[in-house]
Structure 1
């Protein structure tokens, strides 16, 4: 409640200051300038009289100059009256509109962009909250279970579907066949069955062990993320960590690591990682 009182008081203060500024208007500077102009013209008239008295200015020329200066004095005086009348106090309607726009607009903007009723959260608390979110987020199996089962695209030919079914049966009968699992991972990913593709690629990585290339391991992590609908699970994070331990500048791993940071409440760290990745 104290926040709303302070915010309303601040908006009211700004409204009062604007109303006072409008009430002053632009007449003061203009009026001052007009008075200065009139004084200059009067000094010029006095100078004309002195020139006539010294005999350096003929009477005919003096009359013409007096007429011109007098015309200018009248014009400047009239202009000063116009400015003063136009620079009067604003109407109550204008002041009311300003108050409504400032107060109502400020409240509406905060209601849209702010968090009414939500207490202040210090940076240290936000970091701790993000770390807790990261440690307690759902695992890979939970994320995959929440997604609908993948269906074969209808545009696949019957021949391709038959070959894919035969490949699945062959790999199931020979689970330690590295080449078969590689082909299965590629084809399952091609038809959008990312969970099966990730499982097959995971077998490839485990069967190869230390001989698995960085591309194969990073591809495994990417398939895990795709199988979870774009979510970076703790299991996918572990695979990404393994990739970065071998190749710290790996683009795929750094991209998905940044995605994990965004999902766990640390967009600041993700920005640094993605900014460096884009620059490189």
Structure 2
């Protein structure tokens, strides 16, 4: 079916281009110079009629005859040149170029394309993605094949401190503070395998008391040591972290990355979309998500998705100025920011998290009655989105507007 459609479209476009060229070759189309010549001769006759009726003077008639005569000579010359080249000269050249482009296009596709490749229904694509997921290398295999990192220059005094830290951890392998510090500094030096090993020992030492942040950090170090690949072992640690704290943002970012690496944008998109809407804008995972979210939405089957605009906030100068403000001036500045957020949401709309932030901010600055109006409006806007309503209700409850 695909080839039939392509052939039909190519034939239709080719005929549309060739039809006027073939008419010109057969002499059915009148040259432009012949039309111009007829017009100029009619103009000369019109000048004579105007002169006979006394509409124009003899001097004006002579001037017009001379001007139109030059145009007649030019048109006649162009007509003679076209006849000398033959009626189909330019048409044949154009047809030749069109044929060459068609042949070149077919040759390029046969050479660079995949004409024999079979269709990939969605079920087969999902099956292939599942196979890629199952065939991932282990952590040890991925680390063995990961590209080597270029070592950063280390000052002598810092290198001496790291050596002392390693010796101290070797003497006290059950010191959680030493293990955490060693993992941090090995990571800064680019020794990801060593950082991962130190963090693994820390997590093993914590046992069931390991926090979600410690587990996510271990998973992230495993990913870095594996050259960016989320291995089955790293996924196990990540699942444990999210089971401990399902809201951990870095863990959710890695979960979306895992789905992307295994060709499942439909699963990655809702995870990253929620992270982007929650913010904050200066979180380290927001920039890569914002750069990829539009393409990810298209791949996930939601081409109409529009990512939320970055939330405006005070810049460094504004924060510095706020230190010198009186409480009244600082309150006015905050009120202005809240007013700007409300204006943007009213004009452009926004995510449930932005509406929740507006509700909470209005209560903070003492405008609880207005916050209730915004809460009511938000319930109307997001009536068909249970998850969004839940986010808004939590904000309203914390602000004392709902039970």
Q: TM-score, normalised by structure 1?
A: 0.68
Alpha-carbon distance in 2 for matches of 1:229, 1:83: 68
Write out aligned runs for 1:146-161 (5 A).
146=145, 159-160=160-161
Structure 1 178/74 Cα, relative in aligned 2: closer, same or farther at 3 Å?
A: same
Q: Does 1:169 align with 2:184?
A: no
Aligned-pair distance for 1:193?
A: 3.7
* Structure 2 unaligned regions, length at least 5: 277-285, 291-309, 311-403
Q: Which moved more, 1:157-166 or 1:198-207?
A: 157-166
CA distance in 2 between counterparts of 1:179 and 1:31 reads 91
Compare 238-247 and 7-16 and name the one that shifted more: 7-16
Q: Call closer, same or farther: CA 1:72–1:200 in 2, change over 3 Å.
A: closer
C-alpha deviation, 1:6, in angstroms: 9.0
Where do 1:108-147 residues align within 5 Å?
108-109=108-109, 111-112=111-112, 114-146=113-145
Shift of 1:126: 1.1
Aligned residues: 273
Query: Which digits, 9 at most, give the CA deviation of each residue in 1:193-214, with x for residues without a partner?
Result: 4334223313323444575444
Paired position in structure 2 for 1:102:
102
Aligned to 1:31: 31
Bigger Cα Rg:
1
Structure 1, 129-138 or 56-65: larger mean CA deviation: 56-65
Deviates most, 37-46 or 57-66: 57-66
Q: Relative to 1, partners in 2 of residues 1:159 and 1:271: Cα closer, same or farther, differing over 3 Å?
A: same
Structure 2 CA distance for aligned equivalents of residues 148 and 52 of structure 1: 93
Q: Following the alignment from structure 1 to structure 2, what is the Cα–Cα distance between the partners of residues 65 and 192?
A: 87
Contact (CA 8 Å) 1:140, 1:235: kept in 2 or not?
yes
**Whole-angstrom distance in 2 between the partners of 1:241 and 1:211:** 15
Following superposition, the deviation at residue 130 of structure 1 comes to 0.8
Shift of 1:20: 6.0
Residue 15 of structure 1 contacts residue 102 of structure 1 at CA under 8 Å; is this kept in 2? no
CA–CA distance in structure 1, aligned partners of residues 150 and 81 of structure 2: 80
Could you tell me how far 1:29 is from its partner in structure 2? Answer: 7.5
Gaps of 5+ in 1: none
Where relative contact order (Cα < 8 A, 6+ residues apart) is larger, the structure is 1
The C-alpha deviation readout for 1:234-257, integer Å capped at 9, x for no partner, is 22223334445636462x434433
CA distance in 2, matches of 1:159, 1:63: 104
